Chains A and B, each alone.
Chain A
Amino acid sequence: MSETLQAMLRSAIPAVDFCSMRYQRSRDELLTVRQNVPEPVRRYDDAGVMVTICHDGGLGYAATCDLTPSGLTEAVRRAKRFAAMTARKGVTDFGAIAMPAPQGEYVGPEEIPWASVSLGEKFDRLRKAAARLKIDDRIVDWETSFWHTDAESLYITGNGGCVRQQMNYFAPAMSVTANQGSQTQTRTLGSLRGQCKQGGMEVLEMCQFKHAPRQLAEEALALLQADDCPTGTMPLLLASDQMMLQIHESIGHPLELDRILGDERNYAGTSFVTPEMFGTYPYGSKLLNVTFDPTRPEQFASYGYDDEGATAKKEFVIQDGILRRGLGGVISQARGGIPGVANGRACSWNRPPIDRMANLNVEPGDATLAEMIAQVERGVYMKTNKSWSIDDSRNKFQFGCEYAELIENGKLTKVVKNPNYRGLSATFWRSLKAVGKKETVGVFGTPYCGKGEPNQCIRVGHASPACLFDNVDIFGGA
C-alpha cells in the first residue's frame, strides 16, 4: 500500500464534521479439482474506496473504484450530497456520535506464504486429496479446492485516525458425494468452507487436509447403508463443526444490536432479545460462556480495528449463562445505549459498515468427549452442518447435519443418516448439560454470512468445544 495513496486519501478529506476514507483491496485466487480434473484458475483483484461523511447530523457515503484524484473528488461530492439529503432525517444525530480516531497497524498470521508455493504444487495437493476421495464406484462426485484472499486496508479519518491492516484468508474445501438409487449422501470438510482460517498454507495442516479424504469418503458410503436418525426428545451431542452453526444462528444473530434496534426488520429480521435483557437475562445454563474475540489470530474474522475505527478486544457476551453485552459497533451502541463490541464491519469497499458478529466463540468447559457420551443413555451425536433455518426473530430453528451416530447406554453404537433437530433459541441454551474441554475445540467459520441492506456477505469465525444438550426434539429424513 503506497504512501502516495495515503496522501491522496488524506488530501481528499473535505472540511466537514467527520469524514472517513476506507480503502480496501482484496486479491483472490480460487483453485479447484473436480473428479480429478483441475478447473481453470480464477483470480480477482478488487479495490476501491468508501468515503463516509457526517455533516449537520446527516450521514452519506459514496463508494468508488475510480482511485484517481478526480475519482475521489467525485466520491467526496456524492457523499456530501447524501449527507445533506439525510440531515435531520436520520435515525439519530450522527454528528453527536464521537467517532474513533484510531492509530495503528494489524497484520494477520501467515507462516507459509501462499505465494511461496507454486501453482503446480498447489494443484498437486488438490489432485492427491481428490484422488483419495474416489474409493468406490458409488462415489459419484468429489471435489477439492483452495480459496485464498490477500486483503489489505487503509482507514483514514478527518479527526486524525490512520490504520493499516493486512490479512490472509484461506478457505480450503473438500466434498464427496455417494449415491445408490434415490439415496444420496454428501460429506464435507467442515461444511461450506467451514475450515476457513487466517494464515497461509499452514492452514492445510490445521484442518488435516491430507488425511481427511479417506474418512470422509468412508462416512459418505456408510451413510448410504444407515438407518434414518430416530425421532424423539432426547440428549443431543454436537461436534464443534455443528456448534459453529448453532452459535452463529441462535446467539450471534439475535445479539446483533442493529437487529435489536430494528434496522434489519425488512430483510435479515429482528431479535427475540430486547434491550432490557442485557445484564440479567439467563440466556443459557451456567455452563455457557460466550466471547466476542477478534484477537485470536488464526480465526477467520480476526482484526485489530473494525471499519468504524474501534479497537478490537475480547469481551464476554454471555458469562455463566447471563447475557452481558450485545454485538454492536460504535454507532449502534450510541443509538441504543447498550454495551457492545468493535464489530462495525463492511464486507468490502462498496458497502457501509453494519453490526456483524466477527469471531463469536463458546469457551471450553471441563468434560472430555468420552465423558459426555458416557452420560447419555439414548441420544444422538451429530457432526457437520448441512441445513439451517431459523425464524426472523432468531428463535424457532431447525438445523440438519451430514453425519450422526446413535448413543446407547453411554456408547456410540451405529451411524444414522439425515439427522435434524429443532428448538427455540430462548430455551435451547438453558438445556446445555456439559461443555467439552479445550481438546474438543474446533476452530471454524464461514465466508458466507449474509445480512444488511444493501446486502453484504461477510467472514465470521466460531471456535467451540463439543457440547451436550438435554431434551432436544430430534428427527430424521423423509
Chain B
Amino acid sequence: MKEYTMRDYFYSLAEELTRCCAGSEVLLMNLSGEDSDFARFNKSLVRQAGTVTQRYLSLELIDGDRHATETFVLTGQKDNDLARANEVLTNLREQLPLTPPDPYLLYATEVNDTEQISDNRLGSTEDCLAAILQAGQGKDLVGIFAQGSQFAGFANSLGQRNWFDSHSFHFEWCFYAKNAPGDKAVKTGFAGFEWSDEDFARKVDDATKQLAILAQPAKTIDPGAYRVYLAPTALAEFVGLLAWGGFGVKSHRTKTTPLLKMIESDATMHESVNLSENTREGLAPNFTAAGFVKPDAVELIRAGRYGDCLVSPRSAKEYNQPVSAGSEAPQSLDLAAGRLADDDILSTLGEGIYANQLWYLNYSDMPAGRITGMTRFATFWVEGGKIVAPLNVMRFDETVFNALGTNLLALTERRDFLPSSETYEHRSVNSSRMPGAVIDDFRFTL
C-alpha cells in the first residue's frame, strides 16, 4: 500500500465498490484499523513486545427496508481487497431477499463530508522503550506502552465521505512499593501525540514522590461511612459505570437504566452536576457507522436533572427521536468543573479517604443506581487535612444519588483529560474529562 495513504486507499475502494450498486441499492462502507506497537513491562523488564496491523472493512447493502452487513479484513493489496469486497457484495446481494424487512432501518441520506486528520509526530518505539526501561531502573515498574496510527472511514453510494485518523501514544504504568503487601502502587498515565522526555521525567518524578508515602505502614479501616475524595481518575470510574446502560434512549424506554429513579420518581443529582457527551473535545470520530455526523455535545445531566438521551440511528427510528450518537454509550464523557481549589482538597476532606483509583465497579442494585467497587493502588487515610498513611483496599457500596447528589460536597475546579487506555480488539478512542469530588458519608462495606 506504499502508493496510497489509508484515506486515499479507502476512497479509491469506495469509488469502485459504490459503482457496483444496482437499481435501488444503497451501499454503506465503514473502514477501521490501526498500526500499533505494544510493549508490556513487569519488574522493569519487558514481558511481551510486538506490533499489530489490522484493517477491517464493513459493507452494508441496503435495498428498501432490507439490509445485511458483513465485516472482513483487508490485506492492503488493492487487487486482493477489491476481489474480496466484490465477493462479499455478491453474497450480500444474494442474502438480501432472504433477510427479514427491518422497520428500524435508518441511515444518513443527506451527504455530509467531514475529515479529522492529524500529523504523525510519534517518536520511535525503540527510543520510548529505552526511556521507560531507564525510568524503571531500581524500581518495580509494570505497565503497557502502546503507540501508532488509527483510522476510520465512512463512505456511501450517495457520495458521502468521512475520514478520521489519529497518531498517538499511551504509556500506563505502576511503580510498586517494594516490600509492601498487596497493591501498594502509584499508577500513572502518560498519553499524547508526541513523546516528550521532559514531560515523561516529570510524571516519573511525581510518581516517585508518591511512592515514598506508600512505603509507610498501611492502615486498615472498619466498614462504615467515610468522607472521601475521589481523584479525577477515580471519579471517571464511578461516572463511567453509568455509561453502561445509563444514557441511551433504549435503556430509558425499557426502564433498564440505572438512572431509572430520575425518570420514575424525580430523583436528582446535586445541582453542580453537569454531564455531557462532548464529542467536539473528545478523541473519537464525529461520524457514525450509518453516516450521521454527531452533534458537538449532548447534555446528559443538566444541573443535576436528567437532560437528553443518546440516540442511535436504530433507536431514532424506533422511538421517533433525532440521531445523536452511533451507539448509546458515551465515548467522550465530560463532567463540568466545580469550585474547589486543589490546595483546599485535603482541608475539605479533613478526615477520610483520598482515593486515586477505583476498580471493578458493578451494580449491586441497578434500578436504584447502587454501585459497588473497590479502592485500588494509591489510596490514603487523611487526618487533620494531611495524608497520614496508605490504606488497604476497601469495598464500597453506594448509590449514585447519594454520591453525586445529597452527599456531594464539592467538585474541583481543575479537571483532568483522561484518554482511555483500553485495547480490547483495538486501541480505544474514548476519553473523559473529569474533576475530582469530595463526598460525605460514602459507604464502605468490606
Where the two chains meet, the residues of A that have a C-beta atom closer than 8 Å to any C-beta of B are: 37-48, 52, 59-68, 70-71, 75, 78-79, 82, 85-86, 89-91, 118-120, 123, 140-141, 177, 179, 181-184, 186, 261-263, 265-267, 269-270, 350-352, 354, 387-393, 396, 398, 400, 418, 420, 422, 450, 453-457, 473, 477-478
Contact = CB atoms under 8 A, between A and B. Distances in A.
Interface string B114-143: 000000000001100100010000000011
Contact of A263 (B47, B71, B173): B47
B360 A477 contact: no
6 contacts: A37-B103, A59-B49, A61-B48, A62-B51, A79-B51, A266-B174
Given A182-B261, A263-B40, A266-B144, 17 more contacts: A37-B104, A46-B73, A48-B54, A62-B50, A63-B50, A90-B47, A184-B255, A262-B42, A265-B183, A266-B143, A267-B144, A393-B182, A393-B183, A396-B446, A420-B365, A477-B367, A478-B365
Interface in B241-259: 254-256
A398 B446 contact: yes
A45 B98 contact: no
A262 B41 CA distance: 10
Nearest to B100: A38
A82 B52 CA distance: 12
Contacts of B46: 86, 89-91
Contact of A269 (B36, B40, B183): B183
Interface string B345-382: 00000000000000111111111111011101000000
Contacts of B254: 140-141, 177, 179
B424 A63 contact: no
B144 A391 contact: no
Contact of B75 (A65, A89, A90): A65
B20 to A, nearest CB: 18
A65 B54 contact: yes
B207 interface: no
B405 interface: no
Interface string B32-62: 0000101110110111111111111000100
A85 B73 contact: no
A40 B67 contact: yes
Ranked 10 nearest A-B pairs via Cβ:
A61-B50, A478-B368, A453-B144, A454-B423, A477-B365, A141-B254, A65-B73, A179-B255, A38-B100, A182-B264
A351 B54 CA distance: 11
Contacts of A42: 69, 71
Interface string B7-48: 000000000000000000000000000001011101101111
A420 B372 CA distance: 11
Contacts, number: 249
A66 B53 contact: yes
A350 B365 contact: no
A261 to B, nearest CB: 7
Contacts of A354: 48
A69 B68 CA distance: 32
A422 B51 contact: no
B393 A48 contact: no
Contact of A67 (B45, B75, B88, B100): B75
Interface string B63-80: 000011111111111001
B99 interface: yes
A246 to B, nearest CB: 15
A420 B364 CA distance: 7
Nearest to A138: B255
Scoring B48, B95, B365 by chain A CB atoms within 10 A of each residue's CB, the highest score goes to B48
A47 B49 contact: no
A85 B142 CA distance: 18
A63 B54 contact: yes
Contacts of A392: 183, 359-360, 374, 376, 393
B183 A123 contact: no
A454 B144 contact: yes
B407 to A, nearest CB: 15
B365 A418 contact: yes
A120 B72 CA distance: 23
A48 to B, nearest CB: 6
B189 to A, nearest CB: 11
A393 B185 CA distance: 13
Nearest to A261: B42
Nearest to A65: B73
B105 interface: yes
B360 A389 contact: yes
A45 B423 contact: no
Contact of A66 (B75, B133, B368): B75
A89 B45 contact: yes
A55 to B, nearest CB: 13
A68 B75 contact: yes
B176 interface: yes
Nearest to B264: A182
Given A181-B264, A387-B372, A454-B38, A86 B49 contact: yes
Nearest to B92: A43
A314 to B, nearest CB: 28
B54 A91 contact: no
Nearest to B365: A477
A420 B75 CA distance: 49
A400 B71 CA distance: 36
B395 A85 contact: no
Nearest to A249: B360
A400 B364 contact: yes
A223 B214 CA distance: 46
Interface in B391-405: 393, 395, 397, 399
Given A40-B102, A262-B43, A477-B368, A389 B173 contact: no
A179 B99 CA distance: 32
B370 A478 contact: yes
A59 B261 contact: no
B352 to A, nearest CB: 20
